[in-house]
Structure 1
Amino acid sequence: MKINLKKRKLNTHLTLGLVWIAFGIGYFLITSENIYWFGFGFIAIGFLDILHFLYDTKHQYLIIENGVIKKNFLYGFSFTNEIHIDHIKEIKRIHGDFILKSGNKTLKIEPDVIEKESLDQLIHFLKNLNLPPDKNFLTS
C-alpha cells in the first residue's frame, strides 16, 4: 500500500525549483560581472528541488509492504525510516503527528502532508493492528 503526499506538497518543490532556475537565468541576463557561480548556484538549487519533486512523485510518503512501514526520504538512510509492523508496541499522537514505537525504533508520521484518501487508508490500517486500546490512540 502506498500512502500519497498532498499535491500541494509535491507542487511546492516543483514551483521552487522553477523559481530558482529562473533566478539563475535572470542573474546571467542582468549581471555584467564575471561572478557566474551565483547563477550556476541558483540553477543547481533549482535542479535539486525538481529532483526532489520527481523523487517524491514516484515514491510518495509511506510504503507499507512485506510487513514493514517505510517512510521515503530523498536525503537520509532507509534503515532509520522504517519499522516492522509486527514490532509496533504503541501508537501515540503528539502535536498532531502519529508516533509509532517499537522496542528500539520510533517512526514519526506527519498526517498534515498526506492526501485525504491515503490518510483514511492509513488510519484504517493502524486501527486494525492488534494493539491494546491503551497503546493505540486510534482505537480508544
Structure 2
Amino acid sequence: MNFQRGQHRDEPEINLIPMIDVLLVILIFLMVTTTYAKFSELQINLPQAAGEPAKEKPAQINVAVDAAGNYQINDAAVNFANIASLSDALKKAAGSAAAPVIVINADAKANYQSVINVMEAAREAGLVRVTFATQRGEIR
C-alpha cells in the first residue's frame, strides 16, 4: 500500500551561496597575502645639496677581491690564511695614516664570504671607514 500517494517529494537543492562565500573569502585571503616584487620601480627624487669638495683627500687602501677569492691590497697580492693575517696586511697598508678609507673592489661574481672577510679584517684592524667601488651600469 502506498499511503503517500498525494504527497510529492521535493527534490533536494544544492545551495550555492555558502560555496560562493567560501570562495570569496579564499580569494580575499590570497589577494591580501600576495607579495609584489616590483618595489625596485619606485620613483625617488633625491635631495640636492651644494657642498664644497674636501680640501684633503683621505688616504685610501684599495682592496681587490676576484671571483676566485684572491685578495690584493694596493695592487700587492696577499696570501689569505685567516682574518688576522688580512688584518695585519691592512694595518701595514694603513701605515701612519689617521683614518684611511678602505675601498673594496669586489668582482661581481666574488664569494660573499670573501667580502665579509675584508670587512671583518678592517674591523679588527680598527679601520672603520669602509666603502665599495662600483661601476655605472644597467640594473637588471
TM bucket by the smaller chain? under 0.3
Larger helix share, 1 or 2: 1
Output the TM-score relative to the length of structure 1.
Answer: 0.27
